[in-house]
Amino acid sequence: MTSLVNEADPFRAAVHEAVDLLLGHWRALADERLPVTPDLAPGAVAAALPAGPPERGEPLDRILRDTWDTVVPGLVHWQHPAFLAYYPTGNSPASVLAELVTAGLGVQGMMWTTGPAATELEQVVTDWLAKALGLPERFLHTSANGGGVIQDSASSAVLVATVAALHRASRGRWRDHGTEGRYRLYRTEEANSCVPKAARVAGLGASAAVPTLPGTARMDPDALRARIAADRRAGAVPAIVVATAGTTGTCAVDPLADLGRICREEGVWLHVDAAYAGPAALCPEHRWLNDGVEAADSYAVNAHKWMRTGTPCDVMWTADRRALTDAMSITPSYLRNDATETGEVVDYRDWQIPLGRPMRALKLWYVMRAHGLEGLRSAIRHDVRMAELLAGLVARENGFELVTHRLGLVVFRLDTDRRTREAAGRLAGDPGIQLTPATVDGRPALRAAVGSPLLTEAGVHRVWRTIRDHARACA
């Protein structure tokens, strides 16, 4: 099965078989006939595989069979109704279909000239999504200096924002002279791990955390202002503030309007990481998430978290696209072309770390069209309702404390830290459910993030019984 044209029949048959296998798999997940996590020792899957590749080609149907015999039983099923760990990774038939078509077309869209439709579709769908989320005009491709781009992850979006900010803060010196340890990134301890990682990768070293407002997980604007002033006095250059709308630990939202005001006054780049919570702004009742985003220089949401889109699909907008492209463009002779030189086109290679890229926009286009805004909103509302149901069950139960509940996230603990830790251990050993441990205000807690498209009310009650039973078994 090696040619694009000479073995049409076996390819067609394999795709037909694959779609039936996937439909059966999704049905098995919906019915909870599969566990969430496998019961496997490290190395078991590797040991079941041959030590080397075959010398001669094998038929696709055998490879599919081995996938279901060897790989699928060794997976954690992120689409399982009782998968409540991390934040979700979305999925839907439209997203899967788009991946098939994208792969089949096999286009590499690094520049407009290597895939005009790939590029323009990305400009159009990122504009669509910006409007649907109520983001400012200045993030649109139709604005003077804004636009959207699809990154692989919120991590990459933060890194891209950081290098653009360094370029701007250094007035271009950074390109030639590097970071020289003088530039500062600001974030809280609640920022996702990708934020200090981006600071480190960009050569900034450790990024000291700005304190949070007392009793909250939200950045303290006065503390930020004081930190910036102290850094300036010490000869450092404040470059970027990374705020979060929907922190990983507790779904807290930084005070964007206050931070934006400070960033404007200080000439510091404001990036808003709304990886998880951002898509909720599709619904008017959650539109408050965007309050203050007008002052942001860049903003990112993971369509692959809460928009029924498979990973990877992070959508990042900037109001200063020239900072991105000035920071990142390098044009050797083999990348020169007339379209680029006119300046009339977007070359997405200069909006991201990698040079090459697949056609990224087809998936978002399929998902937005197949669901419609109505469908995407009702998916979010469904998940929020499921989280409310779970939060209510937790709050009413003796021996449980509801720590926080926002959007699809429910964080709780038991009456003592020892019991919370014991319950976390028991739950981690139960293949029928997955949650994540967390530390909130220095105390252990458990996070349940709702997001499987297959979770129903009955499923929430099953999840709750599992949690409660493990808790009751704790001494």
Closest CB to a copy of itself among residues 8, 257: 8
Spatial neighbors of 297 by CB under 8 A, at least 6 apart, are 161, 164, 165, 263, 269, 270, 271, 318, 319, 320, 323
Site string for a copy of itself, 51-90 (x = CB under 8 A): -xxxxxxxxx--xx--x--xxxxxxxxxx-----xx--xx
Rounded CA separation 37/256 (Å):
38
Residues within window 88-127 making contact with a copy of itself, judged by CB under 8 A: 89-97, 99-108, 112-118, 120-121, 123-125
Q: Is 284 in the site for a copy of itself (CB under 8 A)?
A: no
Q: SS3 helix, strand, coil % of the chain, rounded to 5? A: 50, 15, 35
| 159: contact with a copy of itself by CB under 8 A | yes
Two tokens at 246? 């929907």
Query: Whose Cβ is closer to a copy of itself: residue 212's or residue 292's?
Result: 212
The single residue among 226, 353, 395, 473 that binds a copy of itself, judged by CB under 8 A, is: 353
Q: Is the dihedral angle over the CA atoms 95, 117, 323, 290 positive or is it negative? A: negative
Among 342, 396, 441, 475, binds a copy of itself (CB under 8 A): 342
* Binding segment (CB under 8 A) for a copy of itself, from list 212-220, 236-244, 333-341, 413-421: 333-341
Q: List, in sequence order, every residue forming a beta bridge with 270; answer none if it has no partner.
A: 241
Verify binding: residue 334, a copy of itself, rule CB under 8 A. yes
Tell me if residue 437 falls in helix, strand or coil: strand
The residue type found at 114 is T
Q: What is the largest CA-CA distance in the chain?
A: 72
Task: Map residues 385-424 to x or -, x wherever contact with a copy of itself holds by CB under 8 A.
Answer: ----------------------------------------
Whole-number minimum distance, CB 396 to a copy of itself, in Å? Answer: 26
Please identify, using beta-carbon distances, which residue of 155 and 290 lies nearer to a copy of itself: 155
Closest approach of a copy of itself to the CB of residue 14, in Å: 5
The residue written with tokens 């009310």 in the block is 457
Q: Which is nearer to a copy of itself, 132 or 213 (CB)?
A: 132
Q: Please give the residues from 206 up to 225 whose contact with a copy of itself meets the rule CB under 8 A.
A: 206
Q: How many residues does the chain have?
A: 475
37-43 CB contacts, 8 Å cutoff, 24+ apart: 37/76, 37/77, 37/431, 37/434, 38/73, 38/74, 38/75, 38/76, 38/431, 39/431, 40/74
- Range 246-265, binding a copy of itself (CB under 8 A): 248-249
294-323 footprint of a copy of itself as x/- string (CB under 8 A): ----------x---x-xxx-----------
Q: Closest separation between CB of residue 117 and a copy of itself, Å?
A: 3
* Binding of residue 356 to a copy of itself (CB under 8 A): yes
Two tokens, residue 6:
């000479």
Burial of 181 per CB tally in 10 Å (0-12, 13-18, 19+): exposed
Q: In this structure, are residues 263 and 292 in contact, taking their beta carbons and an 8 Å threshold?
A: no
Nearer to a copy of itself, 4 or 234 (CB): 4
Among 148, 150, 168, 174, indicate the residue that binds a copy of itself (CB under 8 A): 174
Interacting positions 180-209 with a copy of itself (CB under 8 A): 180-181, 192-194, 196-197, 200-206
Q: Return the range that interacts with a copy of itself (CB under 8 A); candidates 218-226, 261-269, 367-375, 391-399.
A: 367-375
Sheet holding 436-440, edge to edge: 400-406, 409-414, 443-449, 436-440
Q: Yes or no: say if 78 and 89 are a contact pair by the CB < 8 Å rule.
A: yes
CB-nearer residue toward a copy of itself: 56 or 171: 56
* 64 vs 402, beta carbon nearer a copy of itself: 64
Number of alpha helices (DSSP H) and beta strands (DSSP E) in the chain: 16, 10
